[in-house]
């Protein structure tokens, strides 16, 4: 996957925004001002960070060599995925969806209603 492809997956999510709060080399994707993904532009191949259920996070690390504990993140809840082609695109999309859904599930009722109006 290239930058354009992975970025389009993030931005396809309802209410997704992108920002550069950590500098020009890290894209942060948010929903209602809560991070659900990051892309590091420093490395080739690209690395992305995604939030994950703690049990799933460990399972992904056991199954895929390209998945490691989240770099500069809470390693219990975040994974870093190296987009080196060893993981199918569908799995990456599922992981992005899971990250987004985990963040949205923690939003307040008011935030969820506002999100649906966007």
Q: CA distances (Å), 51 to each of 10, 22, 59, 102, in order?
A: 13, 18, 14, 7
For the chain, give every domain's residue range.
Answer: 3-99
Q: What's this model's pTM, rounded to 2 decimal places?
A: 0.94
* pLDDT in the model for residue 117: 81
Residue pLDDT, tens place only, 74-116: 999 999 999 999 999 999 999 999 999 999 999 999 999 999 8
Burial of 40-73, coded b for 16+ CB within 10 Å and e otherwise, reads beeeeebbbbbbbeeeebeebbeebebbbebeeb
> 72: pLDDT confidence band, cut at 50, 70 and 90?
confident
CATH class of 3-99: alpha beta
């Amino acid at each position: 996957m290239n930058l354009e492809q992975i970025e389009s997956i993030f931005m396809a999510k309802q209410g997704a925004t992108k920002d550069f709060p950590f500098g020009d080399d890290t894209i942060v994707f948010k929903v209602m001002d809560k991070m659900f993904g990051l892309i590091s532009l420093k490395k080739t191949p690209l690395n992305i960070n995604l939030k994950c259920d703690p049990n799933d996070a460990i399972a992904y690390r056991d199954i895929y060599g390209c998945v490691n504990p989240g770099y500069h993140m809470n390693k219990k809840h975040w994974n870093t995925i190296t987009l080196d082609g060893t993981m199918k695109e569908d799995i990456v999309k599922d992981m992005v969806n899971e990250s987004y859904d985990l963040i949205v599930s923690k939003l307040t009722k008011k935030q969820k209603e506002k999100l649906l109006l966007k």
